Structure 1
Amino acid sequence: MASVPEPHRPLKVLIVGAGIGGLTAALGLRRHGHEVILFERSQLAKETGAAIHLAPNCHGILRRLGVFPESFGANPVNGVTEYSSSGKLKFDLDLRKALSIWQHPWVLSHRVQLHEDLKRKATSPVGAGTPAVLKTSSIVTNVDPDTATITLEDGSSYAGDLVLGADGVSSVTRRIVAGPDIKPFGSGKSAFRFLIPISQIRENPTTTKLAGREGYMTMWMGDDRRLVMYPCSNNTMMNFVGIHPSELSASRGEGWNRGVSKQVLLDVYSSFEPTVRALLEMVDVSALKVWTLLDMDRIPAWHKGRLALLGDAAHPFLPHQGQGGGIAIEDAASLCVLLPRGTTVDDIPERLALYEKIRDGRAHKVQSLTRLAGMDLNDANRGTFNIMDFMHYNFGHDEWHNTSRALKEHLWSRSGHPIRWRSPLSFGPMPSPRQDHFGQPIPAHDSRFTTYSLRFRTSATYLKTLFPAPGFSFVGPGTVAEASFRCTELRGMKWLGGGGYKYLGLWIHGVQYTRKDGGNVVGSLLVVLLESLADPIITGREELGMPKLFCDIDIDEGTKDSVGVECSWGGVSFLRMQLDRLEEGSAEKTETQTNGTATEAHYGQAVGPEEQGIMFYRYLPAVGKPGEADASYPVLIRDNASSTPRVVKKSRHSRDGRLQFIEGDWNSLPTLHHIAAEFSQIPVYGILEAKVEEGCGVDDLAKAERIE
């Protein structure tokens, strides 16, 4: 009798370093059920430094792991002000409106408070998974990457399945992965770091104006030195970073985090405006530190055997964009996604290779942008730095979503069999709405429709994972986007003998496709169209390349002001849409546009380029060549291109509705589980509009065109 295979055991993960990156990884891996041990060289495992930027790209990851920085005093960034060293105002930006495009806020946190919360959640007996074990005063001197064994300074050793090197800029694990020649080097700059109570700033007549607006980051920029201040700890403390040429403070001691006299600080900024000098006079010298800012060449590899690097061990960051901690958190998130429960020891090397592939480009691009942001000002580059350009790249990324998609593609590629990529794009030719069986057009002016739609705000970073080809992107920046689920019931269709059917689709708004010639087409992207009848599915896939699949669609017009729509397969429901508190409109409206796909205003968003219609992607698999396509290209159906007017005779509207997604499984939804599972991951941040429209005139979509 064959033995029953034992369930996958959790991995034993050894993490060298218990800083922010190491603790984030420990928390995420613990939640997957893995056994985690952290080895911290210091006695108290206290994080050094004063404050940290938690921008949207890392803030969302922390929230996903149950860490909410606002709960321990983090405060939002509301604006940025910059002065020259002489006090001349260069710009004053209120960022509250601009930052609303990001799914998660940009907050400023006390670094120690973030560290303590991560440590507590990673090691607490409360929470999912086995608590991580933190071993302090544990100096790691060597790692065997082949056996995932670490050796401590006292000669003791620990063996695991995986070792993560999160041991900072002076990393021991980096030497093992990248070799002894890759070392940090002085950037030529050092940084004073200190905190001043905001109450003290407010009480001084010279500086009180700087405490008048909460959540503002203020900078004074000299040619080769700058002073940056921003609040933390619920706007009660002001954090300062004073970047300057290293030789101006180097004679006062050695090391990367050393004390320094107040006079040195005052001398460095002696040419700055009186307000700056008044601030510096408030500094408590016992808490004044100076750090040498280190840079490093790009490492040739992020992993070796079963050892991988993250955070400053892989890429030390200069502080000019405040992204060092954020990119370390992204690294940790990527590793957590790549190592879910069920990962085997044999899987680890290829997962670490995928981790390097995912993270290397982004981490080093942010690093290069940081170097650019920190350049000394001169006549060639003065005024060229655009903070919004940097923010759009840095903030518009969700590594959890990004790595999740990359892992899916990796697992698909390792199925053991050639992948037969199937898209709901084509089937076989047959009579259709565009022609009868003689090839003659079929008029549809008298065909009737009722359309039920819900438009909502959701995650742009998640919707990006549903884009069918690299040419698609969002028109604007940000991590918040808009999408619609729209259901239409058609009746009186002559090509169906006077009968009809129902369809429901997912449209993503504000999408552009960039052609090979560099031009853009802007529209709403139709991701999938579910229909209740085989005939329109077959013809729409064959003649238009539309992404169609079958499901049952039931509409419950229960009351005058409430409608329910349900999608199911074989009696198993996977999507429910509810429209409530509908109120009737009276005006009759005639539209020469595609069937309910006209461009609509984006609520609460800046107006972008006008949408030209709906887009979708045609994919026709090549017979006998799994993974290859006979046809693969985007399609556009332009608004106002229809020869059949769409007349809306009655409409009802509200902003009250609900979406419910039910993932199911492969047994209950054998042909639709892949779609139901993706639907279930769509977050709904708010309903923008619920709408029902009734009328006549159904476009045959015959004017669909290839985009390229």
Structure 2
Amino acid sequence: MAAEDSIAVPLKILVVGAGIAGLAAAIGLREQGHQVELFERSKLAEEEGAAIHLQPNCVGILRRLGIHPEAFGSNPLQGRMEYDFDGNLRLDLDVTESQKIWQHPWFLSYRLHLHNELKRLALSPTGKGLPAILRTSCRVTNVETSSATITLEDGSEFSGDLVIGADGMSSVARKAIVGDDIRPFPSGKSAFRFLIPREKVLANPVTEHFANRPGYIIIWYGNDRRIVMYPCCNNTMMNFVAIHPSELSGHKGEGWDIDGSKEILFEIFKDFGPAVRALLELADRTELKLWTLLDMAELPSWVKGKLVLVGDAAHPFLPYQGQGGSIAIEDVASLCVLLRKGVTKKEIPERLALYGKLRPDRAHQVQEFSRIAGANMDDKSRQEFNIMQFIKLNLYYDEWHNSTHELNKWLWQRHGNPIRRQPISFGPMVGPRQDHLGRPLSLRDATFTTHSIRFKSSATYLQTLFPSPAFSFAYPGTMVETTFQWTELDNLRWLGGSGYNSFSFSIHGVRYTKKDGSSLCGSFLPVIFENLSDSIVADREELGMPKVFSDIVVTKGGKSSRVVCSWRGTTFIDMMIDGLGEGLPENEKERPAGPTTPSNQGTFVYRYVPAVGARGEAYGEYPVFISNEHETARVVEKTLRGTDQRVVIQSGDWDSLPTLHHIASGLADVPIYQVIEAKQEQGHGMDGFSHAVRIE
């Protein structure tokens, strides 16, 4: 291994294929500082196909890459209607309200528009990093996995640090990993696809009611065939997919550009209702295309040497969930995270191996559910279809957060088992062994002034901070409530009448499920900063509180209050509440009620005790619960509410925050979507938490 292989330098990455997955990879990897070169076998590198679903699990990633589907005519999903083949309405579901609980919307997009935007951003001279190089009419015939070398049809060779196989169904890159043993095969179904201008559908009295609501997916079901229609292109075009048994159309090819027969289309769907037949009559026979729906067995590996597969090259999808493109984008997101700026050539094999562990199970699970969704269904089987499994798979997931978390775990473990101590949500704690200290005393005479900013944030990110799978959110949706809080304490007897300042971060609406199936609901505390070592050691070692040291300065003046957390002059938290006054601000009076939240029974922390003399092991780790049912000495005497607030969190680095940058970085990534309230409370007495208990 050459010495330079251990130095972080931009990687040279060769991408086979310039479709949606290949171009998205080029965008994400150029932003990480790498040099990307794409090799596309077609002449114009234009994406084939009509329309595509961009579901929430994909849209969040696209937005990270600077791609906003609404900017190029994509339609937000607004509802779903289902009919039987006779034209009887079976489902009419408006999803505009229910979508408000998701971080990202669901779009119906024209595939070519998405492809063009990806190509523009990948090749643009502006933006982060160097523009990708796109070579068209370059058919790759071989990939040498050990040297990251590709060979083109004309015999020319190109080498890089790694190769990404994004070359779709008929992947040459896949062949370099598994040979010819595993290839896509016909699923038994084929599909006609075509576009009809929406104005033509509206102009026909028999069909106009199918197009008068923008953003609606409409499906007509037969037992072994179905027709799917939805809008794209700013609601100007209606996309159609007519799925049927392949033997009825006699199509056995693998291409997307096979001309379809309008007469055969009519014959296959002749038993559907007159309104559906009227829709099919509007199809332009010169633009009717037909293709076989292909499936493929699971690959034993997506990685070999310096070659890695993404998208259809790794997992061709049947179209029944509309997740093929979204899962390909997830693959890309994972690679962009794992190959982020700073990776060395020496680390490439291990990081690709990590990708090979992270992605297949997720992709194959969604792939299998797509098969189930596409199976021949009668009325009974359609009623038994598990829509909640669909929602969980497709809407509750963020691969960027997941891969970031898994990469962090790999980084923490790469030099052997780390020494870990509280707070473990952010990984191993840098520092020496800890002293144990605690003195239980009455705190009724203590005084406090507490400030808090409560806001909505991302469940998909915050769940990565949970220390065990037993923690989850107690209600659905990807937005939850969290609080930043800073407190001044004084007149503490055990500190000789003095006090200290603290700053905490709490996640609300959390459920802990016990081994017996019962559960508790409350708020989870990942971290508390305090500016006094005595209080940190006492509560951390006795109760498992996730406390760490920080300089904390609280200043108040007029109607404002500000907190600054720093370490030896480096500020990483700077927050302010302004406009403090009695009464409820007007914006709070008008604020609509949020989603129903579970009962707040108390506060969760997680205790972790490192073992002495056994590196990387723990004497014990378990959840601790501080119930609200016990009598507390805390009495609020005055409450002021703010009208404005400011939140600034900076991650720092090893040099500026050597013992805290991993926590600061985690807090800096917490999204703030909507502030719910900002307030100040003054009073006396505080809880000593002597009733804290180990849950199990």
The answer to whether TM tops 0.5 is yes
**Is the CA contact (8 Å cut-off) linking 1:580 and 1:657 kept in structure 2?**
yes
Alignment-derived partner of residue 565 in structure 2: 567
TM-score normalized with structure 2 length: 0.94
1:509 positional shift = 1.1
User: Is 1:129 the equivalent of 2:129?
Assistant: yes
Partner of 1:462: 461
Conserved? CA contact 1:252–1:260, under 8 Å: no
Query: Given the superposition, is the C-alpha separation of residues 252 and 573 from structure 1 closer, same or farther in structure 2, using an over 3 Å criterion?
Result: closer
Tell me: CA distance 1:513–1:6, structure 2 relative to 1, closer, same or farther (3 Å): closer
Q: Distance in 1 between matches of 2:643 and 2:299?
A: 52
| Preserved CA contact (<8 Å) 1:392 1:478 | no
1:341 to partner: Cα distance: 2.8
Cα distance, 1:655 vs structure 2: 5.3
Indicate the residue corresponding to 2:225 in structure 1.
225
Partner of 2:487: 488
Residue 691 of structure 1 is matched in structure 2 by: 679
- Alignment check: 8 A CA contact 2:470 2:512 kept: yes
Q: Given residue 106 of structure 1, which amino acid in structure 2 is its aligned partner?
A: W
Cα deviation for residue 447 of structure 1 reads: 2.3
Q: In the alignment, what sits opposite 2:80? A: 80
Q: Deviations for 1:417-450, whole angstroms, at most 9, x for unmatched residues?
A: 5411122499544442x34xxxxxx2x3332222
Q: Distance in 2 between matches of 1:251 and 1:5?
A: 51
Q: Deviations over 1:141-178 (max 9, x none)?
A: 11110111111111111111111111101111111112
- For residue 673 of structure 1, what is the aligned residue in structure 2? 661
Instruction: Give the superposition deviation at 1:645.
Output: 4.0
The 1:530/1:388 distance shift into structure 2, 3 A limit, reads same
3-state DSSP of counterpart to 2:382: coil
SS of structure 2 residue aligned to 1:583: coil
Amino acid at match of 2:614: K
Distance in 1 of aligned mates of 2:11 and 2:519: 47
For residue 128 of structure 1, report the CA deviation from its aligned partner. Answer: 1.5
Match of 1:658 in 2: 646
Specify the alignment match of 2:234 in structure 1. Answer: 234
Is 1:399 the equivalent of 2:399? yes
1:119 aligns with: 119
Tell me how far 1:348 sits from its aligned partner: 1.5
In 2: Cα distance, 1:184 partner to 1:673 partner: 47
CA contact (8 A) 2:80 2:92 kept: yes
User: What does 1:165-184 correspond to in 2, within 5 Å?
Assistant: 165-184=165-184
Cα displacement (A) at 1:134: 1.1
Structure 1 unaligned runs (5+)?
436-441, 587-601
- What displacement does 1:8 show? 3.3
Q: Quick check: 1:574–1:661 contact (8 Å CA) kept in 2?
A: yes
Q: How does 1:608-627 map to 2 (within 5 A)?
A: 608-627=597-616
RMSD: 2.0
Partner of 1:244: 244
* Helix, strand or coil at the partner of 2:381: coil
| Alpha-carbon shift at residue 656 of structure 1 (Å) | 2.7
CA contact (8 A) 2:23 2:118 kept: yes
Q: Secondary structure at the match of 2:383?
A: coil
Query: Is 373-382 or 304-313 further displaced after alignment?
Result: 373-382
The match for 1:500 is 499
Q: Output the CA distance in 2 between the equivalents of 1:200 and 1:584.
A: 60
Identity %: 55
Does the 8 Å contact 1:392/1:477 carry over to 2? Answer: no
Q: Structure 2 unaligned runs (5+)?
A: 425-432, 585-590
* Farther-moved stretch of structure 1 (329-338 vs 392-401): 392-401
The whole-number CA distance in structure 2 between the counterparts of 1:211 and 1:654 is 47
Give the equivalent residue in structure 2 for 1:594: none
**Helix, strand or coil at the partner of 1:490:** strand
Question: Could you tell which deviates more after superposition, 476-485 or 235-244?
Answer: 476-485
Q: How does 1:37-436 map to 2 (within 5 A)?
A: 37-250=37-250, 255-378=255-378, 381-415=381-415, 418-424=417-423, 427-432=434-439, 434-435=440-441
CA contact (8 A) 2:8 2:345 kept: no
In structure 1, distance between residues paired with 2:213 and 2:234:
13
The one-letter amino acid of 1:483's match is: T
Aligned residues of 1:655 and 1:687 also touching (Cα < 8 A): no
Query: 3-state SS of the aligned residue for 2:351?
Result: helix
Aligned positions, number: 680
**Is contact 1:455-1:689 (8 Å) kept?**
yes
Runs (4 or more) in structure 1 with deviation over 6 Å come to 3-6
Cα drift, residue 5 of structure 1? 10
Q: Following the alignment from structure 1 to structure 2, what is the Cα–Cα distance between the partners of residues 291 and 655?
A: 59
Partner of 1:474: 473
How far has the Cα of 1:569 moved from its partner? 1.9
C-alpha distance in 1 between matches for 2:4 and 2:594: 56
Distance 2:623 2:340 in 1: 35
**Residue 386 of structure 1, CA deviation:** 3.9
Matched, 1:631 2:620: yes
Cα distance, 1:45 vs structure 2: 0.8
Aligned to 1:646: 634
Q: Does the aligned pair in 2 maintain the 1:524–1:615 contact within 8 Å?
A: yes
Partner residue of 2:574 out of 569, 573, 576: 576
Tell me what 2:588 maps to: none
Amino acid at match of 2:613: G
Alpha-carbon shift at residue 106 of structure 1 (Å): 0.7
Q: Secondary structure at the match of 2:682?
A: strand
Contact 1:658/1:687 (8 A) holds in 2? no
Q: Distance in 2 between matches of 1:488 and 1:255?
A: 65
Aligned pair in 2 of structure 1 residues 424, 18: CA closer, same or farther (>3 Å)?
closer
Residue of structure 2 equivalent to 1:511: 510
Tell me, in whole angstroms, the C-alpha distance in 2 between the residues paired with 1:289 and 1:504: 62
- 1:446: which partner in 2? 445
Task: Tell me the residue number matched to 2:595.
Answer: 606
Superposition deviation, residue 252 in structure 1: 9.2
Aligned-residue offset at 1:451: 1.2
Q: SS of the residue aligned with 1:319?
A: coil
C-alpha contact (below 8 Å) 1:101/1:605 kept by paired residues = no
- Which amino acid in structure 2 is aligned with residue 366 of structure 1? V
- Match of residue 31 from structure 1: 31
Paired with 2:314 and 2:5, the residues of 1 have a C-alpha distance of 38
Q: Which residue of 2 aligns with 1:543?
A: 542
> Is residue 706 from structure 1 mapped to residue 694 from structure 2 by the alignment?
yes
Q: CA deviation at 1:211?
A: 1.9
List per-residue Cα deviations over 1:240-259 (Å, max 9, x = no partner): 11111111111697855411
SS at structure 1 position matched to 2:369: helix
- The Cα of 1:686 is off from its aligned counterpart by 2.0
Q: Following the alignment from structure 2 to structure 1, what is the Cα–Cα distance between the partners of residues 231 and 629?
A: 52
Provide the C-alpha distance between the structure 2 equivalents of 1:424 and 1:9, rounded to a whole number of angstroms.
33
Distance 2:263 2:272 in 1: 14
Please state whether the residue corresponding to 2:90 is helix, strand or coil.
strand
What CA distance in whole angstroms lies between the structure 2 residues aligned with 1:130 and 1:668? Answer: 29
Instruction: Give the TM-score normalised by the residue count of structure 1.
Output: 0.93
Distance in 2, Cα, partners of 1:199 & 1:679:
50
Q: Distance in 2 between matches of 1:418 and 1:255?
A: 51
Asked if 1 retains the 8 angstrom alpha-carbon contact of 2:254 and 2:292, the reply is: no
For the residue of structure 2 that corresponds to 1:446, the secondary structure is coil
Q: Do the aligned partners of residues 424 and 350 (structure 1) sit closer, same or farther apart at CA in structure 2, a change above 3 Å counting?
A: closer
The aligned runs of 1:8-19 (5 Å cut-off) are: 8-19=8-19
Note the alpha carbon deviations across 1:212-266, whole angstroms, 9 max, x for none.
Answer: 2111111111111111111111111111111111111116978554111111111
What SS does the aligned partner of 1:320 have?
coil
Report the 3-state secondary structure (helix = DSSP H, G, I; strand = E; otherwise coil) of the residue aligned with 1:382. helix
CA contact (8 A) 2:6 2:344 kept: no
Q: Cα gap change, 1:173/1:566 in structure 2, threshold over 3 Å: closer, same or farther?
A: same
